[in-house]
Amino acid sequence: MRDGDWKLHGFPGSRLPSQSTIDFIAEAQLVRFELHNLRDDPAETTNLAEAEKARTERMANALIALYRETQKEGERWAEKALPKDRE
């Protein structure tokens, strides 16, 4: 997520499990975040999440809300696009 000079990365709690990717995306929660100031650090080498806790929390809440919307849309897409016997 980008907000002016700031960029927030959100990461799920684990790597892709053996279940289908669609199931993983539908169930994954963002639990770790990295914050970077692209103006001062365009290579994104310094994680400022701890130093900028208020900004990280505000952006993380917005990113989580957007991610949840995307998850809900994905469920509807999967129901229409995938065969019923995809197991």
pTM of the model: 0.71
Residue 26 is predicted with a pLDDT of 76
For residues 55 and 35, the answer to whether their CB atoms sit within 8 Å is yes
Q: What is the CA radius of gyration of the chain?
A: 16
Enumerate domains of the chain plus CATH numbers: 2-81 (3.30.1120)
In tens, the pLDDT along 8-49 reads 988 887 655 555 666 777 788 899 999 999 999 999 999 999
Q: What is the 3-state secondary structure (H, E, C) of 50-68?
A: CCCHHHHHHHHHHHHHHHH
- Alpha helices (H) in the chain, listed in sequence order: 21-27, 53-81
- Tens-place pLDDT, residues 55-65: 999 999 999 99
Q: What is the mean pLDDT of residues 72-80?
A: 66
Q: What is the mean pLDDT of the chain?
A: 83
